[in-house]
Structure 1
Amino acid sequence: MNPASRTTPGVAPGVAMPGLATLAELVRAPAALTVPGDTTAGGAVNPGLALSSVCLYWAGMALNDYADRDLDAEERPERPIPSGRVRPGQALGLAAGLTGAGLALAAGAGGRRSLGVATGLAAVVWAYDLALKDTAAGPLAMAAARGLDVLLGGTARAGEDTGAAVLTAGAVAAHTYGVTALSRGEVNGGSAARSATALAATALATGLAAVHVHRSATHTSASDSRTNAGAVARRAAGFGLTAAYAGLVGRAQLAAARRPDAARTRAAVGQSILGLLPLQAALTAGRGRLVVAAALAAAHPLARRLSRKVSPT
């Protein structure tokens, strides 16, 4: 059989598969840098859980554009599907394939517990994109998805601290709720109510992160000869990164509140998406994994540079 004559299931003959640049745009590739930090904040040490998280995130992005293809044809015709660079069936097939890959990776990394949480996460992602996005439950569903993503990180750990799990998942979920509410003004402009919601959510995420850092440092094992030094390092890194998160995200959201036009709102949403990295770094530092926290913080400027080429929103 001539390789040139082969077609992909669901793709009409003669229709070329999208290039890597187009696929990167479809799944908002740079924004995926904010995803592994969810599982890390949740306590994961197995990279398979982080890869599972990335696959499910990319699946959600592809599914989002599939679900919004008619609206995007009017409001954002430059996007991959309305511009004709990606066919709807290709986007849906990619979303399904990435979902399957994410579930398989979760099962391989953490067994039944991880697969169970990943399945719940995938269900929320599909429900959000196909049914809940434009309803009052939309921001809650998105917040639940990111909270579950954090909890996924703890599924491969025996004896995970329930308090730490609640605080870390709650901080990421609160942040996500605010960003999702704010994002509804990306096309037509924001509003005072949306800005207030976003700022309140950022404040809540900041508070939960600070409590997690303090609590974790306080409960550092007394059997560790480096307890005092370790607690000081956790607090310094955790509180510093929490303050960095609040400053980066809060400043952008305040700017959008003062001038809630579409361009300023879209910029604030983009900054808030990438601002998740210092929040994840703070939560990870609270767990005592300072090297990993530093890596997450260092990824922020890289993500900002990449976002100038491929929008994270």
Structure 2
Amino acid sequence: MTTVADVVELVRAPAALTVLGDTLAGGHAGGARFTGRQWLLPLASVCLYSGGMALNDLADRELDAVERPERPIPSGRVAPRTARAIVGGCFGAGLALAAAGGGRRGFGVAVPLVAAIVLYNTVAKSTPLGPVSMAACRGLDVVMGAASPGRALVPATVMAVHTFGVTVQSRGEVHGGSPAAAATSLAATAVATAGALAGSSAPSSSRAQSTGRAIGAALATATAAAGYLASTLPTQLRTLDEPSAANARAATRAGIGAMIPLQATLTARSGAVLPTALLAGVELARRALAARKRGGDVT
């Protein structure tokens, strides 16, 4: 019989924390602000992410029976029919929340996002276009939070580049990676950092207010960026030196977790104090959960 714990494992519930900041980064780009019902959009991201994780295991169940038999579906703890229902439920809830939080525009982005998630898991994942496909999913998730796609171009690109690097790295989780994959991941981190730190999108009012706010935003941005680099570089450098499967898994997990400080960096640029602090709290929660579970896989 399928338990709640089995479902939590299937949808990678702890890893869903890493998508909460996507729409925040997109929504605050260009000095905009989240208001009222827009706070439903991070929940939409969680639902769509969870559906994608369940679909990932559903699509890979035959391969997982050989390589990762402990996963919920090949172990028999979750039946394929149940997994399909979970996928449909998560996608349906995500679309509904996107419409409620972002109106026609939010729903209009969520629909192609679901299509991109399905395309990645069923067609593109094992092809050379897999990392690009996954990066597109993350970029669309950021855009879902924005008042207009143009405003979210920088944060969407930054998150997509980072996701590309993590996805390339993740391909070595089972059989080992390569120095080229590790170098690609490192390059993606460098590009993402540069993009996240470039310029400031905080709006100005009075000179005194804008100066104080700019200083605060700069300090918060630098702190979040330092956290991002601290989260990614150590495992990436180890994988570059020794691209074993264990090191690739560690680098992939670190790269997934590092999305939160990267989102915080992008959000802090706009001078949004409360959302940045919220993401700092999310990062602390993620680290607490990671400390309780050192093994396994979350990708």
C-alpha contact 1:25 1:311 (8 A) present in aligned 2: no
- Aligned positions, number: 288
The one of 217, 221, 228 aligned to 2:211: 228
* Match of residue 34, structure 1, among 18, 34, 41: 18
* Per-residue deviation, 1:243: 2.2
Give 2:140's match in structure 1, choosing from 134, 142, 148. 148
Q: Is the contact between residue 176 and residue 243 of structure 2 (CA under 8 Å) also seen in structure 1?
A: yes
Taking the aligned partners of 1:304 and 1:189, their CA distance within structure 2 comes to 25
- Specify whether residues 124 and 161 from structure 1 end up closer, same or farther in structure 2 by C-alpha distance, changes over 3 A only: closer
Which of the residues 73, 76, 88 maps onto 2:80?
88
Residues in 1 aligned to 2:225 and 2:67: alpha-carbon distance in whole angstroms: 36
Aligned 8 A contact 1:284 1:293 in 2: yes
- Decide which moves more: 302-311 or 122-131: 302-311
- Find out whether 1:312 has 2:290 as its counterpart: no
In the TM superposition, residue 297 of structure 1 has moved relative to its aligned partner by 2.1
Q: Look at both structures and tell me which one has the larger radius of gyration over its CA atoms.
A: 1
Deviation at 1:236, TM superposition (A): 1.0
Runs of 5+ unmatched residues, structure 1: 1-15
Q: How does 1:201-220 map to 2 (within 5 A)?
A: 201-211=188-198, 214-217=199-202, 220=203
Normalising by structure 1, what TM-score? 0.88
Give the match for residue 287 of structure 1.
270
Q: 3-state DSSP class of the match of 1:265?
A: helix
Q: Report Cα offsets for 1:265-301 as digits up to 9, x if no partner.
A: 1011001100111001111111111222122123223
Structure 1 position 161, deviation (Å): 8.4
* Letter in structure 1 aligned against 2:158: A
Tell me how far apart the structure 2 counterparts of residues 111 and 292 of structure 1 sit (CA, whole Å): 21
2: CA distance, partners of 1:133 / 1:209 = 27
Q: How does 1:1-313 map to 2 (within 5 A)?
A: 16=1, 18-43=2-27, 44-45=34-35, 46-154=38-146, 157=147, 160=148, 162=150, 164-211=151-198, 214-217=199-202, 220-223=203-206, 225-307=208-290, 308-309=292-293, 311-313=297-299
Contact 1:146 1:169 in 2 (8 A): yes
1:247 CA drift (Å): 2.5
1:29–1:312 contact (8 Å) kept in structure 2: no
CA displacement at 1:185 relative to structure 2: 0.2
Off by >6 Å, runs of 4+ in structure 1? none
Amino acid at match of 1:216: S
Fraction of identical pairs, as percent: 50
Q: CA RMSD for the aligned pairs?
A: 1.5
Distance in 1, Cα, partners of 2:93 & 2:212: 42
Check conservation: 2:196, 2:265, Cα contact below 8 A. yes
